A = this chain, B = another copy of it.
Amino acid sequence: MKPAELTQTISDTLPALRKSERKVADFVLKNPMQLIRMRIVDLAQEAEVSEPTVVRFCRAVGCHGFQDFKLALAQQLAASPSYGQIAVTEGDSTREYTHKVFDSTIDTLLKVRESLEIERLDSAVAAICTAERVEFYGFGASAAVAFDAQHKFFRLQITSAAYSDPHLQNMSATSLHSGDVVVAISQSGRTRALIDSMELVKQAGGIVIAIAPSGSPIARNASIAIEVDAKEDIKIYTPLSSRIAHLAVIDVLAIGVAKKKGPQLQQHLQKLQEGLASLRSP
């Protein structure tokens, strides 16, 4: 039993359930949190059915029994904490919206983690390792991601740059050599200027790795598309969790490159760390 999608499974199974079992399903979907502290008799009473019906319901959704079901549900709820209602609302207290921001971020990360295509990541790491230059392009909120990436890869002894200015991007793109890599980062996946830059990169023989929503123009035009779909809290109109998902993807690439570079890199990083120590107060 994989807990990741239990509530989903329940919803899917709903039409195939019998009338009384559906009563159980309704209650479960409405009060998943409560359920964790309930015994089978309580649930039977609340849903106005008999205990065996509850067991039959649990079996119907793929669990071995009631305990198994409860455990699976508990796990799912713990994994995506504010399941169902992560949008921040007017009346939220500071504690509430703080939790919601973190929870929705975690939620996004869990979703993205599952949806990443491993082969694409491998190709991307391989491309970065063989490139002479690696550049990161992004606008708006993705600019910060690009600079973060530049900083990270620079530390890994990769000649890297980050540009959030379309002119600089274009100038740099035309000077790339065959095999060089550009990582195009976009939350919308449809920023025109970025698409233009990508075109120039490809003309120069460069490889474009895109971190963008699946099926978006930027993902489609890339040599290697790492598709990241992060639903945003629309009401706020400021990208919240998706750029964090992008950063996590960058981290994965960085780790991949670090692994490929092997042990001599460790020494380099060690030295860097020691160098930085002198800039710090004791």
Contact = CB atoms under 8 A, between A and B. Distances in A.
Interface of A: 3, 36, 70-71, 74-79, 81, 88, 90, 92, 94-95, 97-99, 101-103, 105-106, 109-110, 112-113, 116, 118, 121-122, 125, 140-141, 143-145, 147-148, 151-152, 155-156, 188, 190-193, 195, 217, 235-238, 240-241, 243-244, 247-248, 251-252, 254-256, 258-259, 266, 269-270, 272-273, 276, 279-282
B141 A144 contact: no
A41 B199 CA distance: 64
Given A144-B148, A148-B141, A248 B244 contact: yes
A151 B148 CA distance: 14
A252 B193 CA distance: 31
Given A79-B79, A141-B148, A259-B90, A190 B243 contact: no
A236 B217 contact: no
Interface of A is mostly: helix
B98 A252 contact: yes
B247 A243 contact: yes
Contacts of A78: 3, 74-79
Contacts of A237: 155, 269-270, 272-273
29 contacts: A3-B78, A71-B74, A74-B74, A74-B78, A75-B78, A77-B78, A79-B79, A79-B81, A94-B256, A97-B259, A98-B121, A101-B252, A102-B110, A102-B113, A102-B248, A105-B248, A105-B251, A106-B110, A143-B147, A144-B147, A144-B148, A155-B237, A190-B280, A191-B280, A192-B281, A236-B254, A236-B258, A238-B269, A244-B247
Contacts of A151: 140-141, 143-144
Contacts of A235: 266
| Residue of A88, A97, A98, A282 with most chain B CB atoms under a 10 A cut-off | A98
A94 B122 contact: yes
Contacts of A144: 144-145, 147-148, 151
A193 B97 contact: no
Nearest to A120: B94
Given A105-B109, A237-B270, A244-B247, 15 more contacts: A3-B78, A70-B71, A71-B71, A77-B78, A79-B81, A94-B125, A98-B113, A101-B251, A105-B251, A140-B276, A141-B152, A195-B281, A236-B254, A236-B255, A241-B251
